[in-house]
């Protein structure tokens, strides 16, 4: 009798461990960044390539300005 009880628990555990998890939902296609009314000025800028550099800490403004200067210099040198 003990052997039957042990085997029945074994078959239940096997079924539990061999069950397949449900498939994850398919990802939605990316439609681009969200646009807001405040973003309309980007469409009116005459330049072909635009970038905005931002910082939220006043004491880090120097680092952000340095990064922007490096980015501009690199793009000028690589396009020449």
pLDDT at 4: 62
Residue 39 lies in a domain: no
Residue 44 lies in a domain: no
Residue 5 lies in a domain: no
User: Which one has a higher pLDDT value, 42 or 73?
Assistant: 73
Alpha-carbon span 35 to 48, nearest angstrom: 19
Lowest mean pLDDT among 28-37, 57-66, 68-77: 28-37
C-alpha radius of gyration, the chain, whole number: 29
DSSP secondary structure string, the chain?
A: -HHHHHHHHHHHHHHHHHPPPPPPPPPPPP--S---GGGTHHHH---SS------S-GGGHHHHHHHHHHHHHHHHHHH-
For residue 68, the enclosing domain spans 50-80
Residue 62 lies in a domain: yes
Model confidence pLDDT, tens digit, residues 29-61: 888 888 888 888 878 877 776 777 888 888 988
As for how many domains the chain has, the answer is 1
């Amino acid at each position: 009798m003990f052997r039957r009880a042990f085997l029945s628990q074994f078959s239940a555990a096997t079924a539990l461990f061999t069950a397949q998890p449900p498939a994850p939902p398919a990802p939605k296609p990316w439609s681009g960044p969200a646009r807001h009314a405040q973003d309309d000025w980007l469409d009116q800028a005459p330049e072909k390539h635009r970038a905005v550099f931002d910082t939220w800490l006043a004491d880090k403004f120097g680092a952000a300005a340095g990064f922007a200067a490096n980015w501009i210099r690199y793009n000028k040198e690589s396009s020449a």
